[in-house]
Structure 1
Amino acid sequence: MLMRDARNGATPEIKEIAKAEGVDAVRLSSLIAKGLVAVPRNARKSIAGRAVGRLVSTKVNANVGTSKDYDDCADEVKKAKVAVQYGADAVMDLSTGHDRDTVRKRLAKELEVPLGTVPIYHAARKRRNAVDMTADDFFSSVREHAKDGVDFVTVHCGVNRNALGRLKNDPRLLNIVSRGGALTMAWMLHNEKDNPFYEEFDYLLEIAQEYDLTLSLGDGMRPGCMADASDRPEFMEVITLGELVKRCREAGVQSIVEGPGHVPLDEVEMTVKAMKKLTGDAPLYLLGPLVTDIAPGYDHLVGAIGGSVAGMAGADFLCIVTPSEHLALPTADDIRDGVVAGKIAAHVADTVKEGQRERSRETDRRMSQARSDLDWKAQIRMAVDPDRAEHIRGTRMTEGETCSMCSDLCAIKLVRDALKSGKI
């Protein structure tokens, strides 16, 4: 198990990660050992580790997956590969269609980045009615996914009786918008029992230990709109997750904490810092966050705005939002647009993040130098989406070395030529 191995110093894997991240290997080992950095990687796989947490670069995840209405395994695999092509550091398979097992197994085999899943979706599909799941269904799905090579799993352990009581006392406009959280809550109410993942958390830890499976402690109570943000149900769950993070660390199991969701811009920093405080500075994984509710079709932009602010405040892992959010299953083009927006947000966050600030700003400096030199090949090569940059440049290119916006009145060229004349 990597977390326990890290307590004895830098392993070869940790040294490779440290080199890629530009951080000291000994310090990174210490952070992994303490649970302040997670490296999701199933013990049965040999993919390169991607570190999430303090000092390392902000990572980006893309969600794919079939549904009952669109059950095309090959298309979801294609989307996942598009996500990786454009820079996703991890992929989550949220498949709920008939072919869900095939999607998961193919992604675990074919992707070179960490793969995550939500096993309760699988458990729910085992029964005619989701509320008829057994406690064994919960855990057997986790084990099955781990056997298939999944690297991290979202488990909504914080959705328990305390959370249910808080939700009843503090009604919301949208109640629960997390699918995993809703399935858990419906099961609890129907069966009049507490959440098996919470009640038998030690058993979950045993499975995680066996496969070095990273537990992504899900935000089942995340707010689904501005009106529900930063409320008691949300933070009741976070308090519980903080307690579970401690148990993970004691067991040598890597963990990540998931967070909201929809958050007003002026509450993003407070939310991130509060979650970090309550969970012992565990690596924080956010969806977005979305900072307005009015932008269907453009939520990838809304998520990028929220992600930049959240990253500046301490978020470590950003789940992309696509233009299809709230509307439909995303296309491959939607995935590309979402990943690019997420990568921009992550880079913006890294320009101010401890451990990454200098490296990220040097990247911007090199781009600025290429612009100063009117070096279009270098600008395109360093762009977050070189394909799009090259397409735009190629379809509206002038005969000279400037762009078609300014043409012969290019400010950079005018000043450069004037200074070279030596007449000042």
Structure 2
Amino acid sequence: MTIQDADARTPAAGAAGPVIGSHKAYLTGSRPDLRVPVRRVHLTDGNSVTLYDTSGPYTDPQVVTDVRRGLPPLRRPWVEERRADGHAGLVTQLAYARRGEITPEMEFVALRENVDPAFVRDEIAAGRAVLPVNVHHPEAEPMIIGKNFLVKVNANIGNSAVTSSVEEEVEKMTWATRWGADTVMDLSTGRRPAPGPGRSGRCPRGWGSCAAPTRGW
């Protein structure tokens, strides 16, 4: 998988590439395009430990990322399939859960959290958990927030009126997600430095912004 532009720079070497002592691996689901990233840490006795991974494609050596084009739209096929099911107006995971459906996003987080997909569906339907995946941010890997699931971490980043570039802001985001940020909040105060796919299109995590459209990255 390659998304590369000769005029664009990838994030700094320290924020991209596998974490030292580990490698990127994937858990497979019920469909070919459902692959959940994990980090396999190598132990001195030859075994490995599998850890929850939030770093997205930036730590996968098989993926060449381009910060000006954005990330592969992981969830786009899932969203488009649902648009043809007659419920296009009900696009939330809560709506699907309350209809008794298990979506690919629910299966994704079930693999990630090591629980049964039906448990994920039931927790969402009961209002005890949320699966925040915006249909306009298909690059985001699904994750779930709730008292019966793993603790989640938010990271605040943003540019300033003094200095900013696409590469600098993506580097901040990749450092944050590399070390465990499940969601990222853009608190930018400066101008948008360059055109591109939109700020969220470069982020593999849940994304929030309080910046005006003319700001941010």
TM-score by length of 1: 0.27
Structure with the bigger percentage of strand: 2
Tell me: higher relative CO, structure 1 or 2? Use CA pairs within 8 A at least 6 residues apart. Answer: 2
Structure with the bigger percentage of helix: 1
The structure with the larger Rg is 1
